[in-house]
Amino acid sequence: MPGRVHLPSGLVTFLFTDIEGSTRLAQMLGAGYRPVLTEHRRLLRATLASSHGIELFTEGDSFFVAFDDAGAALEACVTAQRALANHDWPTPEATPRVRMGLHTGQAVPLAGEYASPEVHRAARIAAAAHGGQVLLSAATVHHAAPLPADASLIDLGLHRLRGFDDRERLFQLVAPGLARDFPRPRTVDEAAHNLPTQVTSFIGRQSERAELSALLRDNRLVTVVGAGGGGKTRIAVEVAGKLVDSYPDGVWFVDIATVTDPGLVAFAVAAVFGLRPEPGRPMIDTLVDYAASKRMLLMLDTCDAQPGASAEAISRLLTGGSALRVLATSREPFGLPGEVVWRIPPLSTEPAPGGGPSDAMALLLDRTAAARGGRRGGLTESSELQRVVSRLDGLPLAIELAAARLRVLSASQLAERLDDVLGTLDAGRDDAFESTPMGGTAGNQEDTVDLNAAALGEARSAQTRAALRSATQRHATMQATVTWSYRTLGPRAARLLRWLSVFAGPVDLATVEWLLNDDPLDPLAVLVDKSMIQVEPHGAASSYRILDPIRAYAARRLVDAGEERGARDRHVAWCGHALQRVFHGADGRPVTLSLAALDPLADEVRAALRWTATGGSARLGLRLASGLDQWWRERGLAREGRLWLFRLYGRIAETGEPIPDAELAAAYHMHSQHAAADGEFAEELRFAQRAEVAAQQAGDAGLLARVIAGRAGPLIDMGRLTEAERASRDVMDWANGNGVGSEALVAVLSLAELLWQRGALDEAAELLGAARPMEAARPAERGRRTVDMLLGMVALARGDLVAAHDHLVVALRSRMAYGFRGRACDSLNAMAVRCAHGGDPKTAAKLFGAAQATRTTQRGAGGLFAAYWSREQAATRAVLGDPGFDTAYASGAELTLEQAAAMALAVEHPDLAAGSSRFAAELPTDPDVGEPATVLFVEPLRRADILFVDPPAPADRHSTDPRTAEARRPADARPADARRAADADRVSEPGRPADPQRAAEPRHRNDQRHAADPKRDGEVDTTVVIRESRAGRSREAGTDPQPPHPRRSRTYRGALIGDADTADRGREG
C-alpha cells in the first residue's frame, strides 16, 4: 500500500478487480503485455483516486480498494469501465476486459489491513463476474442508494459463493458505455435447482436424452408418459439437470405423488418458491403472477397422482407467462393445447454399435455388481443374461429387481424362473392384475384407470395403436416381475413390505422396529437385498424408502391380505407418537413447542389424515390435525388445515362417531383460529361461539377459560375494539374468580394489545409483567414470546429504544429458533420501527420489505399492528424519499426470512456503552411445568389437541343481520325450515354450497341430544354467557360450571366476553 493512509473503519465497501483471461492475454501479446498492464493500472488508479478509494494492494493485474462510501465506489466502477472501454489500445485483441466485484460490510483495519469475512465475500463476488462486468452484493446496493446518474441494476438472483454456506443476491451495474449482456455469474451453483440427488448411476439412453432435450428446447410443455417402473422420473431428472445452465431462474422439481388433495397442488408448487397464500386470493393466482416473467423449467413428477389438478395448474402457468417451460411425468397425457407427449421407450436390449453391451444389459451388470458389493464375480454378458433382459422388455425397475436375484441365483437359474413367471403372463392367466387393464393397484387409484382404452381413443394410426398395446404389455411385464419378487419373500419380509406401503416417505430403523413390534433386521435385509426397498443415507443413520410402483403394488397386497385397516391405524398411531415426541420431553412432561420439528412429519400426518377421512377414525384424525394446528397457521397453510377439517367433518357425519364435549370445544376453538389466519372473520366468530357452547357443556372451568380467552380476537378483526376490550376484561375477571386465571393468557395479551393501541402504556406494561410467568408456564406459548414482543412495542411507544431493542431481539430469536415464522414477520416489522426510530431508515425500509414478502398470515400476532406498520412505513418513506425507500424495500423483499432475521439481529444496540442487562438474549430453559398428557398428546387446548365435529352452531349474537336476528329467536318460535337453513349455512365448506337436508339431520350424539330437546337452541345464549340486564347483573341458571358475571376490578383477572345484550349496548353507545 503506497504511503501511510487512514483506512476507513466501520461500514466499508470493498472493491476487487482483475483482468479476465490475463494469462492468455499475456501469452498472446508477449512483450506487448507489459505496456497494456501498465496503462490498465494507470487508468484504474486515476479513477480510484478521484473517487477517494484507498488502494490496499496491487498484485499482477488485480486491485483491492476500500471506500468509506458505497455510492462513491459505484461511481468509480462506472468511470473505470468507461475509461477502459474508450481507451485507444494497440489492437482490439489487446483490450483488457476487467471484472469488478463490490461488497459492503462491517470491518475494522488492524496494522494496515483488514481481517474480515466481508473482504473474502467481496473477492468471491469479483471472481463470479465476467470481463467488463460489475457485480454488487445486496448490501452494497442497500448502502449505495441513490445510484449514480444514468445507472441501473439487473437483479441476477441468489447465488452460492465459493466458501460461503449462505446464498448471496447479486446485482449487475448497468450504465451507458458499459457492456450489458453476460453469461451467468461464475458461482458454485451457477443456476438454482432443487433436483433430487441420485444415489445410483444413470445408465444408457443417450439418444433418448438428446431427443427429450431437443423437445424441451422447442416446446413449452413436454409430458413424459409411460408405465410405472419405466424410468420416467429418472430420465426427466437427468435431462433437467443437464439443462440447468439454460434457465436463468432455475430448474425446480415438485413431487406431486406426495400431494394428498387436488386443492393442494398449487400449494405444493408454490412451496418450492417460498410463496405464501394471500388472504382472499387463490394460491394459483399468486403462483401465476410469480412465474409470469421467470425463465425457468418446472418439473412436475408423478402427475397421475392428481391428474386434473396438475393439468389445471400447468395450463394456468403456461398461459400466465411466455418464458416458463414445464416437464411433466405421468402415466397418461393431459390433453392440453401445445402439449408434446414423449412416450418413454424401454431400454434397448440389442447390443450397442461396436459390440458393446445394450443399455438393458449394462444396467443389469451395473446393478448386479452393486448387489454383490461392487464385485461382478465373473459375471459377464451371456446368452442367459440376454434372455433375462429380453424377457423383461428392457424395463428399468424390472431389471433392477432381477439384478437383486443374481446375488443368489446363477444367470441360467434366473432366466429359467423368469420363463416360468412370464410364461403365465403370456398365457394371460397371471393373478397379479385382477383384470385391470394396466395391472392397477389399490394403492393408487389412477392405476385402475383403463389407460389403454384412453390412449387408443387418441391414437390416429395402426402404428400408434400397436405401440400403445406394446406399452401395456411392458407394464404387465413389470407388474409380473414385481409379483415374482414379492412371492420370493418370506412371510415376515412380505408383511413388512405391505405395512411399509402406508408411509408417505422414508422411515428409519426405529420406525420399522416399532411397526413390526419385533426385531426387523432379518426381513429388512431381505427387502434391501431384493431391491424392494432402497437404503438412503440420513445423517449418521440410514433410512429406507419404497419406490412408488412397488409401494402401489404393496398397498394392493395389503388390501388383499385384509391388513389395510390394521396397518393404516398403526400408521395413525405412529404419527401420534411422533407428534407427542415433539411436544414432550423424555420424562413425558411438555416442552417448548418447536414448529421446525414438525416440518419433517407433515407429509406423514397428511397421509394419515387421508386415511382417517376415508376409512379410519375421524376422531383420531382430528387429534392428528390438532398436532399441526400452529404449524399450518405459521406456515401460511391455514386453508389446508380447514380443508382437512371439513373432510373429517364429512367422515363424522357419515359414521356418527361420538365426540366428547371437551374435545368438541377445543375443535371449534382451533377452527376459529384457522379461519382468522385465512381471513375468514365471520367464520372465525361463528366457531368461537360454538366453542363456548361446547365448553360450557363440558363442565370444565379451565377449558372454558381457555376457549373464551380468545373471544376478543374476532372483535378486533372486525374493528369492534371497545367490545373487544370489555370482553377481555370480563374473561380475566371471570377466570380469576373461578380459580383458573392462569388459563386466560390470550385474554391478557389481547387486552395488553388494545391498551397499547389506545396509548394506555403504563397499564399495558403492568399487565404484561403479570403475564410473563403465565406465558412461561405454557409450552405452546413460550416459543412465541408474545409478552416480549408487546413489551417491545410498549417501549417503542415510550421512546425507550434500549428496552425496545432488548425485548424485540429476545422475541425474534425465540420465534426463529422455534419455527414461528408468521410471528417472526411481526418481529421484523417491529425491528424495522426500532431502526427507523433509531436513525437508520434504510435498514428499516429493508426490514419492512422482508416482513411483507415473508408474511404468512393476514393477522399475524395481532390485527391492530397492521395499521401501525403502515403508518411507520409512510414515515420512513417520507425520510428516504420514494426512490430510496422503494430501492431498500425491494432489496429487503428479496431476502429469505432467515437472512432478514440475521440482518435484524445484527442491528447495533442503541446503548452499547452502558449495555442493558435487564433481559437476557439467551432463550430460557423449559421450566418444570405441565401435567402428564391426557388424550393423545396433552390436555385439550393446553397445547392444541383439537377434535372437530359439526353440530348446530350457537346463534351469532353479535351480528345485526336480520337473518341472525331470526336465528336468535327461541327454537320453538322459529319455523323448522329456517332452523335447517341456518344450520346448513353454518356447516358449509368454504367454496361449497351447503346441503340443507344433511344439515337438518343429527350428526352424532351431541346433535341427537339437541334434537331430543328443541328448547336447547333457544337456550344457547343463556347457558353460555350471563345475561346483563339494563338494571343490573344477574346470573341465570344453566349448565355448570356457569361463569358468574365478571366483577369490575382494577387488578388483572380473567374473563368472559359480552353477550348479545352487552354487544348491542356497545353499538348503541
Tens-digit pLDDT profile for residues 687-712:
888 888 988 898 888 888 888 888 88
How many domains are contained in the chain?
5
Q: In terms of Cα–Cα distance, which of 381, 395, 569 is closest to 484? A: 395
Kindly report, residue by residue over 1018-1048, the tens digit of the pLDDT: 322 222 222 222 223 333 333 334 433 333 3
Q: Are 123 and 57 in a shared domain?
A: yes
Those residues whose C-beta lies under 8 Å from the C-beta of residue 25, and which sit 6 or more positions away, are 19, 33, 36, 94, 96
> Does 1012 reside within a domain?
yes
Kindly report, residue by residue over 94-134, the tens digit of the pLDDT: 889 999 999 998 888 877 788 788 899 999 999 999 999 99
462 has a pLDDT exceeding 80: no
Q: Are 20 and 143 in a shared domain?
A: yes
Q: CA–CA separation, 37 vs 655, rounded Å?
A: 84
> Does 80 reside within a domain?
yes
For residues 886 and 856, the answer to whether their CB atoms sit within 8 Å is no
Last residue of a domain, one of 487, 508, 530: 487
Task: Count Cα neighbours of 537 within 13 Å in the Cβ-side half-sphere.
Answer: 6
Residue type, 673: Q
Residue type, 731: V
Q: CA–CA separation, 458 vs 197, rounded Å?
A: 36
Q: CA–CA separation, 836 vs 847, rounded Å?
A: 10
Q: Are 15 and 164 in a shared domain?
A: yes
Q: Is 68 helix (H, G, I), strand (E, B) or coil?
A: coil
Beta bridge partners of 58: 63
> Does 651 reside within a domain?
no
Q: Are 1015 and 971 in a shared domain?
A: yes
Q: CA–CA separation, 864 vs 756, rounded Å?
A: 9
DSSP secondary structure letters along 402-422:
HHHHTTTS-HHHHHHHHHHHH
Q: Are 119 and 149 in a shared domain?
A: yes
Q: Are 21 and 160 in a shared domain?
A: yes
Q: Are 1010 and 979 in a shared domain?
A: yes
For residue 545, the surrounding DSSP H or E stretch is strand 541-545
Q: Are 210 and 324 in a shared domain?
A: yes
DSSP state of 394: T
> Does 537 reside within a domain?
no
Q: Are 169 and 30 in a shared domain?
A: yes
Per the model's pLDDT, the better-predicted residue between 38 and 1039 turns out to be: 38
Phi first, then psi, for residue 1001 (nearest 5°) are -90, 145
Q: Is 650 helix (H, G, I), strand (E, B) or coil?
A: helix
Q: In terms of Cα–Cα distance, which of 454, 388, 468 is closest to 226? A: 468
Give the pLDDT score at 279.
67
What is the grid cell recorded at 759? 396509548
Residue 1007's pLDDT band, with cuts at 50, 70 and 90, is very low
Last residue of a domain, one of 454, 487, 520: 487
Beta bridge partners of 300: 254, 328
Q: Mean of the per-residue pLDDT values for the chain?
A: 75
Q: In terms of Cα–Cα distance, which of 82, 152, 110, 99 is closest to 12? A: 110
Per the model's pLDDT, the better-predicted residue between 1060 and 389 turns out to be: 389
- pTM more than 0.85: no
Those residues whose C-beta lies under 8 Å from the C-beta of residue 111, and which sit 6 or more positions away, are none
Where in the sequence is the domain holding 242, given as residue range(s)? 206-343
Task: Among 191-195, 533-537, 748-752, 896-900, name the most confident range.
Answer: 748-752
Those residues whose C-beta lies under 8 Å from the C-beta of residue 279, and which sit 6 or more positions away, are 678, 679, 858
> Does 494 reside within a domain?
no
> Does 189 reside within a domain?
no
> Does 493 reside within a domain?
no
Helix extents (H) in 351-426: 359-371, 383-391, 396-405, 411-426
CATH number at residue 103: 3.30.70.1230
Q: CA–CA separation, 807 vs 120, rounded Å?
A: 34
CATH number at residue 224: 3.40.50.300
Give me the torsion for CA of 938, 940, 945, 949, rounded to 10°: 150
Last residue of a domain, one of 487, 508, 542: 487
Q: CA–CA separation, 468 vs 294, rounded Å?
A: 36
Q: Are 1030 and 964 in a shared domain?
A: yes
Kindly report, residue by residue over 257-308, the tens digit of the pLDDT: 888 789 889 999 988 887 777 767 888 998 999 898 888 999 999 998 899 9
Residue that has been written with the C-alpha cell 443399455 in this structure = 359
Task: Count Cα neighbours of 59 within 13 Å in the Cβ-side half-sphere.
Answer: 5
Q: Are 16 and 123 in a shared domain?
A: yes
Q: Are 885 and 822 in a shared domain?
A: yes
What is the grid cell recorded at 793? 412495542
Those residues whose C-beta lies under 8 Å from the C-beta of residue 744, and which sit 6 or more positions away, are 705, 706, 709, 731, 732, 735, 736, 1053, 1054, 1055
Those residues whose C-beta lies under 8 Å from the C-beta of residue 221, and which sit 6 or more positions away, are 314, 318, 325, 326, 328, 334, 336, 338, 339, 340
> Does 585 reside within a domain?
no
